[in-house]
């Protein structure tokens, strides 16, 4: 009888240990980069789909289980994934060190230079491009026309001045003062198109192919198509606004619809 009670007691202890391993635990940690605290880093539990953001001191708090995968994501740093181990659960802390994501420019080689600055300056080739006679106000260089805080310091436009060519610049022979809005709009559009073109590769690098193929069940050759499919949810705008958790939520939701269409 005592042997049976002993065996039952051992079984209960084993069951309790197994249950405790499956139970969620709240861990904290600090995110650093070269001994400097990093704020606004998105910490996302890929298993529970819960996330948080590090504060100004680089500290974060998140709920995890054994073998959960944590994703540390920030636009300025390389993406990092970490699997929760028994050691992490025992210490109740996970500190990480992120590596800056530095964009290195390609090398540029300039021919026909000797390295002697005085000699190279005197023998530089003549510029064959004609000088522009465009006139501008130097104070306008301090403003970014694409900035949301940009305020145009000009009086309200005069309808006649904008339609009558003899009124441009205050009379015949005057210099035009009306900004080239068409050119500004074109430049802004080019910037947006370039950012949109780079977006699929950037988000694949950020989240990793495993996230799309295993988590979302999207075939690798159709990931770009799936990202374009999600554009109606403004994921590009949310991503560049550093709202990565919202982007992940949208991708998970839309992957179900996308896969149903394929089926």
* pLDDT given for residue 16 in this prediction: 46
Report how far residue 256's alpha carbon sits from residue 235's, in angstroms, rounded to the nearest whole number.
16
Q: 168 or 97, which is more confident?
A: 97
CA torsion angle for 54, 60, 64, 70 (degrees, to 10)? 40
Q: 66 or 20, which is more confident?
A: 66
CATH fold for the domain made of 2-97: Immunoglobulin-like (2.60.40)
* pLDDT given for residue 185 in this prediction: 80
Domain ranges in the chain? 2-97, 184-262
pLDDT in tens, 236-253: 888 888 888 898 999 999
pTM of the model: 0.37
Which DSSP string corresponds to 38-82?
--S-EEEETTTTEEEE--TTSEEEEEE-TT-EEEEEETTEEEEEE
Is the pLDDT at 128 greater than 70, yes or no? Answer: no
Q: 263 or 46, which is more confident?
A: 46
Sorting pLDDT into bands at 50, 70 and 90, what band is 3?
very low
Q: What is the rounded average pLDDT of the residues 208-235?
A: 89
Q: 258 or 125, which is more confident?
A: 258
* pLDDT given for residue 171 in this prediction: 45
* pLDDT given for residue 79 in this prediction: 92
* Crossing angle of helices 244-262 and 181-207, rounded to 10°: 80
Q: What is the rounded average pLDDT of the residues 13-41?
A: 76
Q: What is the rounded average pLDDT of the residues 141-161?
A: 50
pLDDT in tens, 81-104: 999 999 999 999 999 999 998 765
* pLDDT given for residue 104 in this prediction: 56
Q: Are 176 and 168 in contact (CB under 8 A)?
A: yes
| Residue located via tokens 């999600």 | 230
Provide the strand spans (E) within the chain: 25-33, 36-37, 42-45, 50-53, 59-64, 69-74, 77-83, 96-97
* pLDDT given for residue 242 in this prediction: 85
Mean pLDDT of the chain: 75
Q: 205 or 160, which is more confident?
A: 205
């Amino acid at each position: 009888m005592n042997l049976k009670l002993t065996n039952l007691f051992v079984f209960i202890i084993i069951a309790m240990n197994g249950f405790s391993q499956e139970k969620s635990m709240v861990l904290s940690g600090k995110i650093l980069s070269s001994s400097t605290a990093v704020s606004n880093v998105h910490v996302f539990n890929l298993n529970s789909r819960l996330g948080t953001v590090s504060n100004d001191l680089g500290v974060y708090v998140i709920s995890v289980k054994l073998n959960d995968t944590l994703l540390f994501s920030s636009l300025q740093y390389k993406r990092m994934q970490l699997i929760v181990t028994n050691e992490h659960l025992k210490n109740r802390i996970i500190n990480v060190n992120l590596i800056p994501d530095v964009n290195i420019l390609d090398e540029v080689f300039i021919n026909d230079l000797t390295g002697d600055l005085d000699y190279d300056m005197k023998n530089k080739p003549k510029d064959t491009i004609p000088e522009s006679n465009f006139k501008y106000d130097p104070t306008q260089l301090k403003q970014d026309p694409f900035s949301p805080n940009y305020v145009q310091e000009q009086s309200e436009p005069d309808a006649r001045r904008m339609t009558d060519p003899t009124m441009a610049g205050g009379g015949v022979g005057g210099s035009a003062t009306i900004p080239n809005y068409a050119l500004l709009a074109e430049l802004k559009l080019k910037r947006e198109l370039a950012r949109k073109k780079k977006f699929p590769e950037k988000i694949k690098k950020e989240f990793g192919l495993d996230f799309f193929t295993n988590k979302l069940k999207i075939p690798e050759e159709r990931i770009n198509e799936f990202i374009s499919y999600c554009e109606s949810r403004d994921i590009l705008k949310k991503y560049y606004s550093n709202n990565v958790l919202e982007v992940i939520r949208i991708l998970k939701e839309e992957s179900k619809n996308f896969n149903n269409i394929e089926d």
